[in-house]
Structure 1
Amino acid sequence: MNRLAAETSPYLLQHADNPVDWYPWGDEALERARTEDRPILLSVGYSACHWCHVMAHESFESPATAALMNEHFVNVKVDREERPDVDALYMDATVAMTGQGGWPMTVFLTPAGEPFYAGTYFPPEPRHGMPSFPQLLLAVAQAWKERRDDIQRQARTLVDAIGSASRVQPSREPLTSAVLADAERGIARTFEPAYGGFGRAPKFPPASTLEFLLRRGGTEAIAMVAATLDGMAAGGMYDVVGGGFHRYSVDDRWLVPHFEKMLYDNALLASTYLHAWAVTGNGRYRQVVEETVDYMLRELRLADGGLASAQDADTNGVEGLTFTWTEEDGVAAELLHPFEHGRSIIRGTLDPELRARLLEERSRRPQPALDDKVLASWNGLALAALAEAARRLEREDWLAAAREVGAFLLGPLSREDGRLSRAWRAGRVGGEGFLDDYANAAHGLLELHVATGEARWLHEARRLALLAVELHRDDEHGGFFLAAKGGHELVARTKSLDDNPIPSGNSMLAHVLLRLGRIWGDDDLERHAVGVLRLVEPALRRAPGAFGWALCALDLWLAPPREIAIAGPVGSPVARAALEPFAPNAVVAVGPAEGVPLLAGKDLVDGRAAVYVCERFVCRAPVTDAGDVSVAQA
């Protein structure tokens, strides 16, 4: 057993028996590298990563390869999901040096932590023009001995370049509705009409982009949304047997997936399909929401109330083994599409009886490993999906689950000083929270407030958002750093801005601050949000498809302010009528509640629940009859 045996991350624990002398990222490894003047071999991956498992089996379990690693390097293994700051910094370096990135990520660092050589997967023997991993180890070790000064000089130059990306000046261009219109046209140019989605294979689920298009709401935008949602839900990347989405499709048709299932994909897509159902009334979208939420609660829900991070792609070392079928399983040939090893993927419509039988049969098979760490960031996204879906589909069981997730975020994942932890597993917390932890948790708590009408969640959302501003803001250039000040110290401090595969902490926090700013009438919160939008403005013009959630935040900021104050139960007919439409640019607060400016003076009317529709705190007469709500909101 190596030092990883004491870690909480399932990914790190998978490497605890390697003959490699692994360290987790931290002062002990860096100090040894400095003391012994050795370069660091940094390997970054995650539990559900197929090629991470392949390289581990081929190289890290090999005594001969491990001996080379131990002789020449201080070896550090990182779970990218627990340390997104380490992953972001060295992924920037990998892309800068090689033109591409991915996992497993293999980076060689000076003892000071500066990167000087990088790549992703390396085979155990030379293959397709790639050197073998042992050849690479010997070449890097020799270069470190013979060309030390050149390596260190180049590494410092690279670090300076990476750090400069976080010192970009905010745009002075006006933030107008023209930016949104141009972004929609830019996204449309990349739309793939045959099967939906944007660009060619591999295809990743574009949840944030679809959310932006739903907000745009025009005929062309909704058509792109519908084609993409229909394509994804046809089967393959979408699990028509058990519900939920695999990570991505390797082809244009959304058919052949990489089989890992991630909590964040399913949370984001459940929200997107829910919103599409609210906009279009398409019953298939509601069905996908129901099946996806059922999947999350069936397979990812832990006894303590949080949600696990992911299921592996592999079962017993074979990708997709649990999720693929043959005609011998009683599946009609027209539903089967060839995959590998004589097995097939199911695509098509299953009648309820067949679906139930296949799901029961599948439950008796060997199952993929579960990454059972609970991440604050991803649980925040799941909380938002659970709470809103429970409200819109009137599922009290889902609402109970949402309350449990909210309590978990504010309980086991919260520290004594009120800050968030990044991760929790088996009773142990792992590391300080990052920007996306605060932003996504606040987002989820806002939705839980709207779903329950309970003031606690609203106040906690504001507290976490203000804490995020305090800990992460960049007073000089605007926006927010990924890691808190005074926390994890790396050779460069980074900002995460793009919204793939999940909304960046900057985009989500901007969106949350705008909502809270309008509920509290707080111009400072809006100013911090606009600081993010000015940072990303050039990117919104250049690559709008990569900044879908930032576009949602900009759409909210540009929209005429509309506040909905509800006095009384959210289950009352008048409240339900007010909350039924898909109105993403309206902010909602439910009372009575102390200390919420939007709710001040908003009381029941003659003992009846009432809805107040306001614009910058100037409110129309309260409405108590559900039939009058649409008139009040017009």
Structure 2
Amino acid sequence: MNRLADETSPYLLQHADNPVDWWPWSPEAFAEARERGVPVLLSVGYSSCHWCHVMAHESFEDETVATYLNAHFVPVKVDREERPDIDAVYMEAVQAATGHGGWPMTVFLTPDAEPFYFGTYFPPEARHGSPSFQQVLEGVVAAWTDRREEVAEVAERIVADLAGRSLVHGGDGVPGESEIAQALLGLTREYDEQHGGFGGAPKFPPSMVVEFLLRHYARTGSEGALQMAADTCSAMARGGIYDQLGGGFARYSVDREWVVPHFEKMLYDNALLCRVYAHLWRTTGSDEARRIALETADFMVRELRTAEGGFASALDADSEDADGRHVEGAYYVWTPAQLREVLGEDDAAFAAAYFGVTEKGTFEEGASVLRLPGDTGPVDAARVADVRGRLLAAREERPRPGLDDKVVAAWNGLAIAALAETGAYFDRPDLVERATEAADLLVRVHLGEVARLARTSKDGQAGDNAGVLEDYGDVAEGFLTLAAVTGEGAWLEFAGFLLDIVLEQFTGEGGQLYDTAHDAEQLIRRPQDPTDSATPSGWTAAAGALLSYAAYTGSEAHRTAAEGALGVVKALGPRVPRFVGWGLAVAEALLDGPREVAVAGPVGGELHRTALLGRAPGAVVAAGEGPGAGAEFPLLVDRPLVGGEPTAYVCRHFVCDAPTTDAGELAAKLGG
């Protein structure tokens, strides 16, 4: 066992028995490199990364490679999900130098952590113009030994280039109708009318963009925006990217038709998409959207929930097939013969037609990914349910994909928001309870006694890595959503505590935000990125939570900070709308107010439920009755009952329309 044996990250523990003498990222590792006079090999990945597993098996488990590595380098292994700041800084350098990035990320550093050579996956033998990993190692050693001054100059130049890149500033003003219209036009140009989604292969679920489109439709009535959102969601729900047996979404589709996924299942994707489909149902009443939202919520609870009440990060893409090989997708794909073995001839033929399983296959070695291809016409719903249940039971007997059971604060914040709303919409109090338990874990373990958010925990113990901006923004978003659903003002208070830290530790001049706190570990560059990737950027997640908190409390400081942060959306929205979807969604809330809904009446009552189902972009909801309600929610202060009946007030900037006791009138006020 190497030094990773004492770590808690599942990804690092996967490498604890490598012959490579791995170090975790630490001052001691770089001190060792200085003392020995050797470079550092930095390898960054995550536990459900397919090519990370491949490179580990091919190279890091190889005794010859390990012996050479140990003799000439200090090897450092980083879990990008635990240290997104390290990943972001060096990925920026990799992309600048090579024009592309990915994981595993392989970077060679000086003992001062300055990068001088980059790559991603390196094969064990040279192929397709790419050198073998051993050749790369030998080339770096030769350069380090014979041309040390040249290496130092390259490293110094790279660091200077990164440091010299202009910081992102908040921009001038907030996005208005012009910027929103330009963003919508840009999305329309990139929209795949045939298959849904945006761009070509590989195709990722555009969760944040769909949220923007739904909010834009709610505010303006744009049928085009709704059509893009609804058709994209339907295409994904019917495609192989969605698990047609067990629910939940894979990370992305390798093709533009959504047929073959990259099979890893991430908590963040499923949390975001669960909420998207719940919001689509709220907008259209689609039965399909309702089913997908509930099945995805149930998947998260069934397969990702930890013993402590949080939610694990991911399920691997790989698992053992019938021959004992560790291969991608083995748990999920089917051949016609496998269908016949489980279902018999007649039901297997029915299932093959229904799920698109062919003799040729849609994946590898004649296997098919289950999907719902085309219009199969009227189907026997009972027969579909029976076949699905039997196939799911048979699949449960297969070797399961590995589970990365660390709890990431940001992604749990997303899950809390999704489960709370889905539970409220569909009368599933069990889902609200699961959201509350996850929130309790974040307060109890991730905040704990230090009153600063820890990025991760495992087995109920907080990790050593500090929370980054996305953790504060997404957890605050989850707490604010939980406050709206449960009527418990403590969640509003916790959100305010986190957002005050954002103002104090993550905010610069002119509305700019940083991904790390002012007092965080200093890397070669302080990371700062306002664009979405697979999740909302920390920048726009914080902007959304700040805006909602201001709507709940009337805090001008938080609203001013939100508006300052949204300046970057004004600049980026018209140019790259696909990569600032959540920022555009927050901008829609700002343009609408957002509306503040105070329900003086029982939590869970008709008016409260009607308020939660309102489509007004980013509307905040406070519900409660009695003299203590105003103490929990400032929005409820001086909001009395009318005629002794539960009463709703719809406000903007704490200025309210005439109160109503009628649920139908409230729904009309909120576009419900």
TM-score, with length taken from structure 2: 0.91
Inter-partner Cα distance in structure 1 for 2:139 and 2:292: 51
CA contact 2:253–2:261 (8 Å) conserved in 1: yes
CA contact 1:167–1:477 (8 Å) conserved in 2: no
Inter-partner Cα distance in structure 2 for 1:109 and 1:579: 51
CA contact 2:513–2:539 (8 Å) conserved in 1: yes
In structure 2, the partner of 1:321 is 330
Offset at 1:341? 2.7
CA contact 2:599–2:649 (8 Å) conserved in 1: yes
Q: Which amino acid in 1 is paired with 2:650?
A: V
Q: Which amino acid in 2 is paired with 1:13?
A: L
**Match 1:610 to one of 636, 647, 655:** 647
- The change in CA–CA distance for 1:325 and 1:200 in structure 2 (over 3 A counts) is same
CA contact 1:202–1:251 (8 Å) conserved in 2: yes
CA contact 2:595–2:618 (8 Å) conserved in 1: yes
Superposed, which structure 2 residues align to 1:332-411 within 5 Å? 332=349, 333-334=352-353, 335-336=356-357, 337-348=361-372, 351-411=384-444
- The change in CA–CA distance for 1:44 and 1:463 in structure 2 (over 3 A counts) is same
Inter-partner Cα distance in structure 1 for 2:571 and 2:68: 46
Q: Which amino acid in 2 is paired with 1:80?
A: R
In structure 1, the partner of 2:250 is 246
Deviating more after overlay: 177-186 vs 409-418: 409-418
In structure 2, the partner of 1:117 is 117
- Residue 264 (1) aligns with residue 241 (2): no
Inter-partner Cα distance in structure 2 for 1:47 and 1:588: 38
In structure 2, the partner of 1:567 is 600
- Residue 496 (1) aligns with residue 529 (2): yes
In structure 2, the partner of 1:625 is 662
Inter-partner Cα distance in structure 2 for 1:172 and 1:631: 35
CA contact 1:124–1:132 (8 Å) conserved in 2: yes
Inter-partner Cα distance in structure 2 for 1:377 and 1:627: 36
Residue deviations 1:268-288 (CA, integer Å, cap 9, x gap): 001111111111111101110
CA contact 1:567–1:602 (8 Å) conserved in 2: yes
Superposed, which structure 2 residues align to 1:15-26 within 5 Å? 15-26=15-26
Inter-partner Cα distance in structure 1 for 2:164 and 2:500: 26
Residue deviations 1:375-430 (CA, integer Å, cap 9, x gap): 10100000000000011111011111111111111112213121111111123321
Deviating more after overlay: 30-39 vs 257-266: 30-39
In structure 1, the partner of 2:286 is 282
Inter-partner Cα distance in structure 1 for 2:448 and 2:160: 34
Q: Which amino acid in 2 is paired with 1:454?
A: E
Inter-partner Cα distance in structure 2 for 1:561 and 1:311: 37
In structure 1, the partner of 2:495 is 461
Residue deviations 1:523-558 (CA, integer Å, cap 9, x gap): 221221222222343322221111101111222222
CA contact 1:604–1:610 (8 Å) conserved in 2: yes
Inter-partner Cα distance in structure 2 for 1:557 and 1:164: 33
CA contact 1:10–1:372 (8 Å) conserved in 2: yes
In structure 2, the partner of 1:14 is 14
Offset at 1:322? 0.7
Offset at 1:153? 2.5
**Match 2:446 to one of 404, 413, 422:** 413
In structure 2, the partner of 1:305 is 309
TM-score, with length taken from structure 1: 0.97
- Residue 579 (1) aligns with residue 612 (2): yes
Offset at 1:587? 2.2
- Residue 473 (1) aligns with residue 497 (2): no
Residue deviations 1:477-510 (CA, integer Å, cap 9, x gap): 5322111121222111011211121001110100
Offset at 1:298? 0.7
Residue deviations 1:563-584 (CA, integer Å, cap 9, x gap): 1112232311122222222222
SS at match of 2:622: strand
Inter-partner Cα distance in structure 1 for 2:331 and 2:537: 32
CA contact 2:173–2:563 (8 Å) conserved in 1: no
Q: Which amino acid in 1 is paired with 2:333?
A: T
In structure 1, the partner of 2:474 is 440
Inter-partner Cα distance in structure 2 for 1:64 and 1:100: 29
Residue deviations 1:102-143 (CA, integer Å, cap 9, x gap): 001001111111111111000001000000000000101111
Offset at 1:463? 1.1
Deviating more after overlay: 414-423 vs 332-341: 332-341
Residue deviations 1:18-44 (CA, integer Å, cap 9, x gap): 010100111111211222222111000
In structure 2, the partner of 1:525 is 558
Residue deviations 1:267-318 (CA, integer Å, cap 9, x gap): 0001111111111111101110111111111100112100110000000211
CA contact 1:517–1:523 (8 Å) conserved in 2: yes
CA contact 1:450–1:570 (8 Å) conserved in 2: no
Inter-partner Cα distance in structure 2 for 1:238 and 1:582: 26
In structure 1, the partner of 2:81 is 81
SS at match of 2:111: coil
Q: Which amino acid in 2 is paired with 1:344?
A: S
In structure 2, the partner of 1:590 is 623
Inter-partner Cα distance in structure 1 for 2:20 and 2:478: 40
- Residue 213 (1) aligns with residue 247 (2): no
CA contact 1:267–1:381 (8 Å) conserved in 2: yes
Residue deviations 1:359-386 (CA, integer Å, cap 9, x gap): 1111111100000001101000000000
Inter-partner Cα distance in structure 1 for 2:38 and 2:53: 26
CA contact 2:313–2:404 (8 Å) conserved in 1: yes
Q: Which amino acid in 1 is paired with 2:153?
A: R
Q: Which amino acid in 2 is paired with 1:572?
A: G
Structure 2 unmatched ranges of 5 or more: 321-325
In structure 1, the partner of 2:239 is 235
Inter-partner Cα distance in structure 1 for 2:578 and 2:667: 34
Pairwise CA RMSD: 1.7
Inter-partner Cα distance in structure 1 for 2:139 and 2:552: 59
- Residue 509 (1) aligns with residue 546 (2): no
SS at match of 2:106: strand
CA contact 2:646–2:661 (8 Å) conserved in 1: yes
Offset at 1:597? 3.0
In structure 1, the partner of 2:323 is none
SS at match of 1:340: coil
- Residue 294 (1) aligns with residue 298 (2): yes
Q: Which amino acid in 2 is paired with 1:320?
A: G
SS at match of 2:298: helix
SS at match of 2:365: coil
Offset at 1:607? 4.7
Q: Which amino acid in 2 is paired with 1:61?
A: E
- The change in CA–CA distance for 1:232 and 1:633 in structure 2 (over 3 A counts) is closer
Inter-partner Cα distance in structure 2 for 1:478 and 1:96: 26
Q: Which amino acid in 2 is paired with 1:346?
A: L
Q: Which amino acid in 1 is paired with 2:43?
A: S
